[in-house]
A and B are shown apart, each in its own frame.
Chain A
């Protein structure tokens, strides 16, 4: 009984905690993908060039 209550409490609190965590990690993920796939920086472009073409990111 006690453990059922605590697991319910845990899942509620983790559900409340999900939104900011998900938004933050989606934002950081988008930042990383932007750096690899979209940034106009010459150096980043040249390093990721073949991957950009292979994944169909607009390049050049």
Chain B
């Protein structure tokens, strides 16, 4: 069973990841590259203060200068072995973006299938699509309300606290959605709604001022492109997972 589950997750992850990679090539990566030209331009101006210059918990990180993560934690084993590596712009960067998209699809596919095995009445393309869209709401929509998708060069609060809020919000929204949709008891539905709202009452960590030199139009376009790409990714991941799983069931 676990072999089958991994096979389905790998297949669906490949399809959804490659779809996401294509959407990135078409829509988000051009905006990231454009933003990086502003980011590098502002970095080259000595009059502007960077990194420590924002405020206590607001910081700027620069994508392609060698020192960017100098005070961001210890270097791990991989870093010591490989060093300060980054893919070259062009085919190499696209390859690693595609690879990371497929791996994301595989990882999220495993989690989605696990959740469906435990909670879904049946698993097929239709229910997979529904669960995929639920996961899109939990993993993309809810965190983006507090921490909208950002281009390189944006000012942002401490990375670890943002990651913690992001993970907490995704988990809470997923749990809350399940309580609201799958449970019949009114007080459990109410508790689900409360769990969905709670992270936004707590509030996401934010910097005290804005510092991006990237035009707001590009940022706005990027947010829309990112949300649409993620929606397609999750819809494909969910429905292909369900479809492949049901195919295996029919064979047995």
Residues on A close to B: CB < 8 A? Answer: 14, 17-19, 21-26, 28-33, 35-60
Contacts and interface: CB of A to CB of B under 8 A. Distances in A.
A17 B104 contact: no
A33 B226 CA distance: 18
Interface of B: 1-2, 5-6, 9, 20, 23-24, 28-29, 32, 60-61, 63, 68-69, 72-73, 75-76, 78-79, 82, 84-87, 93, 96-97, 99-101, 103-104, 106-111, 113-115, 117-118, 140, 143-144, 147-152, 154, 156, 159, 162-163, 166-167, 225-227, 229-230, 233
Given A21-B1, A40-B73, A54 B103 contact: no
B106 A53 contact: no
B50 to A, nearest CB: 12
A41 B76 contact: yes
Given A19-B118, A21-B117, A33-B111, A54 B69 contact: no
A54 B1 contact: no
A34 to B, nearest CB: 8
Contacts of B109: 29
Contacts, number: 166
Contact of A54 (B76, B107, B226): B226
14 contacts: A18-B117, A21-B114, A36-B100, A40-B69, A42-B69, A43-B79, A53-B28, A53-B32, A54-B226, A55-B149, A56-B149, A57-B163, A58-B156, A59-B159
Q: Could you tell me the dominant secondary structure of chain B's interface residues?
A: helix
B149 A51 contact: no
B55 to A, nearest CB: 16
Contacts of A21: 1-2, 5, 114, 117
B92 to A, nearest CB: 10
Contacts of A48: 96-97, 100
B226 A26 contact: no
Which residue among B78, B99, B230 has the maximum number of chain A CB atoms within 10 Å of its CB? B78
Contacts of A46: 85-87
B115 A26 contact: yes
- Among all A-B residue pairs, the 4 with the closest Cβ atoms: A29-B110, A60-B61, A32-B107, A48-B100
B182 to A, nearest CB: 16
Nearest to B167: A38
B199 to A, nearest CB: 14
Given A26-B110, A58-B166, A60-B156, 16 more contacts: A22-B117, A25-B2, A29-B110, A33-B111, A38-B163, A40-B73, A40-B159, A49-B63, A50-B32, A51-B100, A53-B28, A53-B32, A53-B149, A54-B20, A56-B143, A58-B163
